[in-house]
Amino acid sequence: MEAQSLIDLSSATDIANRRPILIAHRGGVITPSSPECSLSAIRIAGQTGYDMVELDVRMSKDGVPIVFHDRTLENACGQSESISDLAAAELLTIRYLKGGDHIVTFETALQECRKQNLGIMLDLKAGRDNAQFLTTLDQLILKTGYENATITISGTESTRLHLKHVRFTPTKAEIQQLREKQDTNLQDRFWFGLPQQLPNSDIHLFKKSGALIFPAINTFRYPKSNHIELAKKDIRRLLDNGVNGFQLDSIYHKLIKPSTP
């Protein structure tokens, strides 16, 4: 597969050319040997043709941003501690139970994403109101050239104040203005949520405002018995009405790009 460049969220042309934009949920493509939020999962996402990857970020005991989903290490690594219980140096020695990956810092994950030309969807599992932590994240985003390739679903007042080089979801006030048919410019925003939360009428409103639209297509949102059929139906409706792409679990990748291995 021919390597693509890093996504430019400020470029309408790049957004249109990539549609549908695919964001790998859970930190990449998850397999028995590539646990969520691992470097292996990120690499596979890059090799499979994703445009972006979701990174779940927590804060170590000494304030270092760590890429890890769960609050504790138990399920992924077989240890009882939480990420916040241990210093970064200790965390980086810990391996996942599946595969050979170690836990990594946000900076290391960003560097790997840069190699794979993957944009970032940032999900802050901790530190959302810690100004110093948020400033550190923002500086890393700028340092690695991600100022036009990062969005976050963590929209607290503090994140909106201190993360100066990312795109946020609309505020409640902005959505209210939009639905009241006021002239609302959301070109620096993106919509994120479940398909059932996004009627076709809202898609057209968000498109008119300039906001990007990324519904979530995740396995745990559907009944196990017919999740493929339901996901396929949601994807078709949403694409027909003009969404820009999806955050999705890799099991649904071929429903959107069947020619991609």
Rounded Cα–Cα distance for residues 256 and 239 (Å): 9
Give tens-digit pLDDT for 172-184.
999 999 988 778 8
* pTM higher than the cut 0.75: yes
Give backbone dihedrals phi and psi of 216, rounded to 5 degrees, phi first. -100, 125
CATH 3.20.20.190 fits 12-59+110-252, yes or no: yes
**Contact call for residues 27 and 38 (beta carbons, < 8 A):** yes
Give tens-digit pLDDT for 82-121.
999 999 999 999 999 999 999 999 999 999 999 999 999 9
Give backbone dihedrals phi and psi of 65, rounded to 5 degrees, phi first. -70, 125
Residue 2, pLDDT score: 53
Give backbone dihedrals phi and psi of 122, rounded to 5 degrees, phi first. -95, 125
Whether pLDDT at 261 is above 50: no
Q: In the chain, what is the straight-line distance between the N-terminal and C-terminal CA atoms, in Å? A: 9
Give tens-digit pLDDT for 39-81.
999 999 999 999 999 999 999 999 999 999 999 999 999 999 9
Question: Which DSSP state fits 16?
Answer: H
The pLDDT > 70 percentage for the chain reads 97
Rounded Cα–Cα distance for residues 209 and 124 (Å): 26
Average of per-residue pLDDT across 5-14: 97
Give backbone dihedrals phi and psi of 187, rounded to 5 degrees, phi first. -65, -20
Grouping H, G, I as helix, E, B as strand and the rest as coil, residue 139 is: helix
Rounded Cα–Cα distance for residues 42 and 87 (Å): 24
Rounded Cα–Cα distance for residues 141 and 162 (Å): 12
* Beta strand segments in the chain, E: 21-24, 52-59, 65-67, 104-105, 119-124, 150-152, 190-193, 212-217, 245-248
Residue 182, pLDDT score: 75
Bridge partners of 246, per DSSP, are 22
* Percent of residues in the chain assigned helix, strand, coil, to nearest 5: 40, 20, 40
Other CB atoms within 10 A of residue 183 CB: 8
Is it true that the peptide bond before 20 is cis, omega within 30 degrees of 0? yes
Rounded Cα–Cα distance for residues 106 and 134 (Å): 12
Confidence band, pLDDT 50/70/90 cuts, at residue 151: very high
Nearest Cα neighbor of 50 from 12, 7, 108, 16 is 7
Angle made by CA atoms 112, 117, 120, in degrees to the nearest 5: 75
